Amino acid sequence: MAVESWLAHRGHGSAVRGLTTLIVAGSAAALLLRGSAGIDRGTDVAISLGLLFVARGAALGRSLYARNARLAGVILLISIGALWLHQERLCWVLWGLSGYALARPAPPPPAAGAAERRSVRALISVTPDDPLAPFAQRTDKSYAFAPGGTGAVAYRVRFGTAVASGDPVGDPAAAADAVAAFLRHAAERGWRVAVLGTARPGLWCGAGSWLSRRRAVAIGRDVVLDSAAFTLAGRRYRNLRQAVQRSRNAGVGVRVCAESALGSVQREEIGRFMQETRGLSPRGFSMILDHPLDATHPGTLLALARDRRGQLVAVHRFTLSDGGRQVCLDMPWRAGQAPNGVDERLAMEVLDWARRNGGQHVSLAFAPFTDVFEAAVGDRRPDLRYRAAGAALRAFDGFIRLRPLYLYLRKFHAFAGTRYVVFAPAQTLYAVAAMLALEFGPVERSIRSGARTADRHSGTR
């Protein structure tokens, strides 16, 4: 909770912030000049460094938080001990750190409670044409709501950066208000802002200072099948058609059902299969849901593939939005010995399910860096820029295999809208680190505990 603020966020906020920054930075400059004169160089430089951290916090509009003040006080007390022990250099370092501790941004908020998640779930049900909308309900996210609650932005905070998860959910007319509420919420807490997976960069890129002005960078495209228009007929779908037929020739059977309709025996079997293949709590942020099999997220579907012996060989989980008109792939689980073409077969079976149940679109996945991969598989040799990008992506093949994902999705010839990341170029290091940590970092404790709950529900260990 803020004790007091360097920045009055309404009225004369900009003037107060600028005046505070000038005063503190001027004091730091005066000390540096004094230190350069050799009067008490180490002490003056250390104090000026601490003051520069405070000035930076004031320039970013950060408030003084009790937690930060306590930490800075502890550091100063330790510095007194260091001075008493005649450890002057350590004392100088601690004085600089105390300024950094005092000017830190607000701590990350806790994940939203059940009531807020219910509100967001209702907004997702009226969000049109957004394959990433269902993932706003992931249980480790927090929310900023538009006035009246007609729109919301889902986000998490890492390294002082509030990373929005895709675009606002809810009424499209309230999207700009939801973004404004999120930006205001972040500014009041001194957080930088980044966006991961937006399809509407114009909502996020606007005017601002050189430090906070945001730019959009394309990172890939959605893959969306139109249930009314998509067909396997024609030469361009030959590879996809053959893959589906190979799964049929191998005797694979498919069933699509609501996750909530599973009995205890089926839940136990599927939970064990998930745990043995990919785990019940996969990493992710913007394009992966959580809590499979424990009834946390109503309205999810499972597509189950079994071999001739009746053994599970693949499970795909889907979630719904826009009143069931959008069917979105959440996570695939696949056994290593699964017959060829199983994933393609499950996609086609879910598309048939959507046609029968009022679904207009089936979103299969997000295809990252499509421009780079399209250049690599095209007829002409890619230029140096694309070759360099391709080499950089291949370096990550052991961690995340992007090229095989692209080659799989390319069979559907259904690349749709472009997705972007948005951040201020002056804050690139913080923004990229925050987004990578959220997508690939350790799974939140709440999600791990949810996975254990699913284990208990399913009887797995």
pLDDT in tens, 98-121: 777 777 788 889 999 999 999 999
The percentage of the chain sitting over the pLDDT mark of 70, rounded to a whole number, equals 74
In a domain, 6, yes or no: yes
Cβ neighbours, 10 Å, residue 231: 9
Q: Residue 177 falls within a domain, yes or no?
A: no
pLDDT-derived band at 405 (thresholds 50, 70, 90) equals confident
Tens digit of pLDDT for each residue in 13-33? 444 444 444 444 444 454 444
Residue 430 lies in a domain: no
Residue 181, amino acid? A
Residue 99 confidence (pLDDT): 75
Q: What is the per-residue pLDDT for 395? A: 61
What is the pLDDT, as a whole number, of residue 148? 92
Q: How far apart are CA 438 and CA 44, in angstroms?
A: 39
Residue owning tokens 């695939």? 332
Query: Residue 369: which region, alpha, beta or left (left: phi > 0; alpha: psi -120 to 50)?
Result: left
Higher pLDDT, 228 or 95: 228
Rounded to the nearest integer, the mean pLDDT of the chain is 80
Number of domains in the chain: 1
Instruction: Please tell me the predicted confidence (pLDDT) of residue 59.
Output: 67
Categorize the per-residue pLDDT at 398 as very low, low, confident or very high, splitting at 50, 70 and 90: low
Say whether pLDDT at 153 is over 60: yes
**CA–CA distance, 433 with 159 (Å, rounded to integer):** 8
Name the more confident of 74 and 283.
Answer: 74
CA 93 to centroid of chain Cα atoms: 35
Q: What confidence score (pLDDT) does residue 440 get?
A: 80
Cα–Cα distances (Å) from 122 to 92, 141, 151, 167, 378, in that order, read: 54, 16, 10, 16, 43
In this prediction, residue 11 has a pLDDT band, given cuts at 50, 70 and 90, of very low
Mean pLDDT of 274-297: 84
Q: CA–CA separation, 420 vs 423, rounded Å?
A: 10
Mean pLDDT (whole number) for 376-386: 57
Backbone phi and psi for residue 134, each to the nearest 5 degrees, phi listed first = -60, -25
Name the pLDDT band for 38 (thresholds 50, 70, 90): very low
Half-sphere exposure of 357 (CA within 13 A, CB side): 19
The answer to whether 185 and 109 have CB atoms below 8 angstroms apart is no
d(CA 344, CA 243) in angstroms, rounded, equals 7
Interatomic CA distance for residues 457 and 270, integer angstroms: 11
- With respect to residue 83, please indicate whether it lies within any of the assigned structural domains: yes
**The pLDDT value given to residue 406:** 84
pLDDT category of residue 208 using cuts at 50, 70 and 90: low
Q: Measuring CA to CA, which residue among 317, 382, 399 is closest to residue 350?
A: 317
What was the pLDDT predicted at 5? 39
- Write the CB contacts of 193 (distance below 8 Å, at least 6 apart in sequence): 161, 162, 164, 182, 183, 186, 204, 212, 214, 423, 424
pLDDT digits (tens, 9 = 90+) for 330-345: 999 999 889 999 999 9
Average pLDDT over residues 418-431: 91
Which pLDDT score is estimated for 336?
A: 87
More confident residue, 440 or 251: 251
What pLDDT digit, counting tens, does each position of 75-95 carry? 777 777 776 777 777 777 776
Q: Is 185 inside any structural domain?
A: no
pLDDT in the model for residue 213: 82
- What lies within 8 Å, CB to CB, of 241 at 6+ separation is 232
Is the predicted pLDDT of residue 9 greater than 60, yes or no? no
Q: Which domain holds residue 81?
A: 2-102
pLDDT band (50, 70, 90) for residue 132: very high
Predicted local confidence at residue 439, as pLDDT: 86
Q: Which of residues 385 and 219 earns the better pLDDT score? A: 219
Domain-located, residue 279? no
161 within domain boundaries: no
pTM for the complete prediction? 0.78
73 or 394, higher pLDDT: 73
Q: Is residue 120 part of a domain?
A: no
Residue 105: its pLDDT value, please? 80
- Digit-coded pLDDT (tens) for 350-363: 999 999 999 999 99
